[in-house]
Structure 1
Amino acid sequence: MFSFLQHKSFSALIHAEFSTYIVARFFFIMVLTMQATLISWKVFEITHDPFSIGLIGLVEFVPAVIMALYSGYIIDKSDKKKLLHLSIGANLLLTILFAYITSKQASSILSQNTVLILIYIIAFCTGVARAFSGPTSFALVSMLVPKEKIPNAISWHSSSWQIAGVGGPALGGLLYGSKGITFTFTLMIIMMTIAVIILFFIGPKPPATQLKGEPMLKSIREGFKFVWNTKEILGVITLDLFAVFFGGATALLPYFSDVILKTGAEGLGILRAAPGIGAIIVMLIINFIPMKSNQGKWMLLCVAGFGMSIITFGLSSWFWISFGALLISGLLDGISIIVRSTVLQLKTPEHMKGRVSALNSIFIISSNELGAFESGFASRIMGVVPSVVFGGAMTIGIVVYTWFKLPGVRKISY
């Protein structure tokens, strides 16, 4: 009945703990992406200012980066399953707080400015929890499947994230528009609770080697040294940092949805889902037809195409052209994600995965959250449309620089 699971493309999923983890992580990411959609729209609803949306990214970025190095040290010396359980539990509590702050009851007793400030405070706390959840997830994957199945596990790991990334924004936007924010947050709380419960079915995952007696600063320094000396890792995460930093147009989607495209919360959810749809398409294709060589060159070409897609989105005033541009951006970015994740997993020894994944999270969070702030800031200086076009052009420029000045990146092949 399930003979198709014997195909090599499903090899990682036959391991019960890995498939259990994928389901729990799916619900967790689904809630986070729904939450991002709802909170960005709520902030824009209060302020009608794109810069205020960008501030959400900044307040999440600061604690996540400050805590990242410490979290990497803790992850490498702790039970990774337990740590992930605690971080998702903390996110559950923060989602409950978001649900109350955005409810009609809170609005009746709190001013709009107070609600806005509290949203930023909770977002700050979300950044703290995120400093542990992302790196812990990365470090846990290789403990759930045999080493020879790690590439396949990475593909499913990324695919499930993208599927949740599609479903979350779309479902969040549609439910917000039709049922209201309180109903939507209630559903999110249920989904996050399911994630917490499911994780109980995964056994303990203690560290591969104990860092007994090793000072924290020395341990962190070793992580830095490893990343700096491993040029493939340094190259792919640096490229992603600057490309997404300048190409982070999605932070301004509430403005485009409301002012330029005039589609409201429902349109916002669909636009947020578009990059994820593109990423799912390419990840599922790669699951069955994996890249076998020249991954570095393909990655660089795709990042350049990503920049072109962002420029197209910025110039578009038609909803479906905007949707198509974001869809293509996600498709091209999906290839970059797979190459980067595979290089990190294959090149990093087990006992350093917490620190390396924490350093990688700094790059990812910097590109996404600080990029969101950059988009809001640039939109205030240049105007919304020019700032998006500028970001796409800068992304293409970074690819050109990397191609000629950092040849090791385009020579990546595994």
Structure 2
Amino acid sequence: MPSAGETPHDPYGALRVPAFRWFIISLMAMTVGVQIQGIAVAWQLYAATNDPLALGLAGLAEVLPFLALSLPAGQWADRHDRKRLALIGIGVLVLCATLFLAMTTGLHARVSGTVRGVGSTAWSSPLVIYAVLAVSGVARAILQPARQALGTMIVPSTLYANAATWRSSTWQFASVVGPAVGGLMFAFSGPLITYAATLALLLLAFWGMSVVQVPPRVIGPAHSTDGAGILEGVRFVLRDKLVLAALSLDMFAVLFGGATALLPVFTSTVLHVSPEWLGYLRAAPAVGAVCMALVIAHQPPMKNAGRTLLFAVATWGLSIIGFALSRNVWLSCALLAMGGAVDSVSVVIRSTLLQARTPPHVMGRVMAVNSIFIGSANEIGAFESGLTARLLGAVNSVLLGGVATLMVVASMATFSPTLRRLKRLHGPDTGE
């Protein structure tokens, strides 16, 4: 029961805001569409090259432009209309989906016929696919800080945690549905229908974002567009010890504790199960995350957020250690689901903390730093897992990653008392 004078907790508070509902519809449609497109591109690339390295290069082609442009894009999000930038980002993704569809329908053959020296097959070659993926990486770099900063403008600060919960659960749900739908659609309907569905979903995402009503905002003090202004988000994170500790904890947990990149190895050589179990293992963390996000949404705001965050990341490390030692596929799925559940707790706390402590005029640049922290940790973590697996074996790689995660938690609990003492995520108890 809420105490006297305290507003009762509304688990659907953020969803009662019309602008946030459209924001969520846009996020869901875009995430599912991009996931479906990723499945189709991966299948076609591997079919064309029969080389697993081609799949790695596809990820690299998209992530390098994203990392290179994230900081400037954060500056743009603070200097310009965030909704317009988000629409530009989604619009470029629509263009990329249109190009993939054109390659599939044979439109590329008619276009290439008008370009001297360019054969029809050149338009759907791996190099062209990599180029389109690089453009989509640019689109993601523009979209992500603008959309994340926009999310703080359309709900009151008291609903930040609830909004972060629904954003997280939407993204996780889309991450489960997208690959499943994409795989089935590609298998039964082929690339044409798959890319057409991607295009339709991205158009829905564009429309959903276009109808989001954004309140006017005051642009912060003018800054130059050189490195000094662009790096303001980095300086803010380095100055705010609480934000730095929360971001670092999450980054190192992802860096050391990720087992996703090695799931194919565990499926075939550790658990000795059929290939379809790979899909179940990949889906397990997202299923756990969605379930936990729904639980969080129905709970009142956290009163000991710092300790909860440390406990969540420690539990993540323990789940990874358990997964490394497990030889039962059902237990492995359960441990991955548990890891996804506590990761959802971490995401909600980190997102809410960032929104509550960041001044509006640098929100875009701070969100860009957050994207780099998490994006680079995912990519480098996959490389680290593969390298240590090559040297020490897959089981030892994941086991050591879980142990390293626990060591990071112990270090943060010892050397960051501000994080350990963090109570509420908004209001007077946000850490000072």
TM-score (norm 1): 0.86
Any conservation in 2 of the 1:169–1:269 contact (CA below 8 Å)?
no
**Aligned residue identity for 1:399:** V
**Aligned residue identity for 1:93:** L
Distance in 2 separating the partners of 1:110 and 1:256:
37
After TM superposition, the structure 1 = structure 2 runs for residues 4-403 of structure 1, keeping only pairs within 5 Å, are 8-40=10-42, 53-98=55-100, 115-203=125-213, 207-212=217-222, 214-256=224-266, 263-264=274-275, 267-316=277-326, 318-403=328-413
Distance in 2 separating the partners of 1:50 and 1:241:
27
Write out per-residue CA displacement over residues 304-359 of structure 1, whole angstroms, 9 at most, x where no aligned residue.
22123233434545543332222111101000001100100100111110011011
Instruction: Give the secondary structure class of the aligned counterpart of 1:8.
Output: coil
Task: Give the deviation of 1:115 after TM superposition.
Answer: 4.5
Task: Give the deviation of 1:78 after TM superposition.
Answer: 0.9
Counterpart selection for 1:412 from 381, 402, 422:
422
CA gap 1:406/1:115 in 2 versus in 1, 3 angstroms? farther
Question: Which runs of 5 or more structure 1 residues have no equivalent in the other structure?
Answer: 1-5
Any conservation in 1 of the 2:62–2:137 contact (CA below 8 Å)?
yes
Any conservation in 2 of the 1:64–1:131 contact (CA below 8 Å)?
yes
Task: Give the deviation of 1:27 after TM superposition.
Answer: 0.6
**Aligned residue identity for 1:163:** F
RMSD over aligned CA atoms reads: 3.2
Task: Give the deviation of 1:70 after TM superposition.
Answer: 0.3
**Aligned residue identity for 1:245:** L
Distance in 1 separating the partners of 2:192 and 2:422:
48
Task: Give the deviation of 1:8 after TM superposition.
Answer: 1.7
**Aligned residue identity for 2:302:** K
**Aligned residue identity for 1:246:** F
Larger relative contact order, structure 1 or 2 (CA cutoff 8 Å, min sep 6): 1
CA gap 1:97/1:250 in 2 versus in 1, 3 angstroms? farther
CA gap 1:173/1:142 in 2 versus in 1, 3 angstroms? same
Task: Give the deviation of 1:241 after TM superposition.
Answer: 1.1
Distance in 2 separating the partners of 1:384 and 1:47:
26
Task: Give the deviation of 1:217 after TM superposition.
Answer: 2.4
Task: Give the deviation of 1:364 after TM superposition.
Answer: 1.1
Instruction: Give the secondary structure class of the aligned counterpart of 2:11.
Output: helix
Determine which structure has more spread, i.e. the larger CA radius of gyration: 2
Larger helix proportion of the pair: 1
Task: Give the deviation of 1:188 after TM superposition.
Answer: 1.9
Task: Give the deviation of 1:227 after TM superposition.
Answer: 1.3
Any conservation in 1 of the 2:9–2:300 contact (CA below 8 Å)?
no
Task: Give the deviation of 1:395 after TM superposition.
Answer: 2.0
Any conservation in 1 of the 2:19–2:214 contact (CA below 8 Å)?
no
Any conservation in 2 of the 1:76–1:207 contact (CA below 8 Å)?
no
**Aligned residue identity for 2:385:** S
Any conservation in 2 of the 1:170–1:270 contact (CA below 8 Å)?
no
Distance in 2 separating the partners of 1:316 and 1:51:
29
Write out per-residue CA displacement over residues 189-221 of structure 1, whole angstroms, 9 at most, x where no aligned residue.
211111112222124666531554634322223
Distance in 2 separating the partners of 1:175 and 1:322:
28
Any conservation in 2 of the 1:251–1:375 contact (CA below 8 Å)?
yes
Task: Give the deviation of 1:178 after TM superposition.
Answer: 4.0
Any conservation in 2 of the 1:275–1:330 contact (CA below 8 Å)?
yes
Distance in 2 separating the partners of 1:254 and 1:155:
30
CA gap 1:185/1:355 in 2 versus in 1, 3 angstroms? same
Any conservation in 2 of the 1:80–1:206 contact (CA below 8 Å)?
no
Question: Which runs of 5 or more structure 2 residues have no equivalent in the other structure?
Answer: 1-7, 109-118, 425-432
Task: Give the deviation of 1:400 after TM superposition.
Answer: 2.2
Show the counterpart of 1:3: none
Instruction: Give the secondary structure class of the aligned counterpart of 1:9.
Output: coil
Distance in 1 separating the partners of 2:345 and 2:25:
23
Distance in 1 separating the partners of 2:382 and 2:45:
14
Distance in 2 separating the partners of 1:51 and 1:124:
17
**Aligned residue identity for 1:155:** T
Any conservation in 2 of the 1:82–1:204 contact (CA below 8 Å)?
no
CA gap 1:105/1:89 in 2 versus in 1, 3 angstroms? closer
Identity rate, percent: 37
Distance in 2 separating the partners of 1:23 and 1:267:
30
Moved more, 97-106 or 146-155: 97-106
CA gap 1:374/1:123 in 2 versus in 1, 3 angstroms? farther
Distance in 2 separating the partners of 1:251 and 1:99:
29
Distance in 2 separating the partners of 1:393 and 1:54:
27
CA gap 1:373/1:115 in 2 versus in 1, 3 angstroms? farther
Task: Give the deviation of 1:24 after TM superposition.
Answer: 0.9
TM-score (norm 2): 0.83
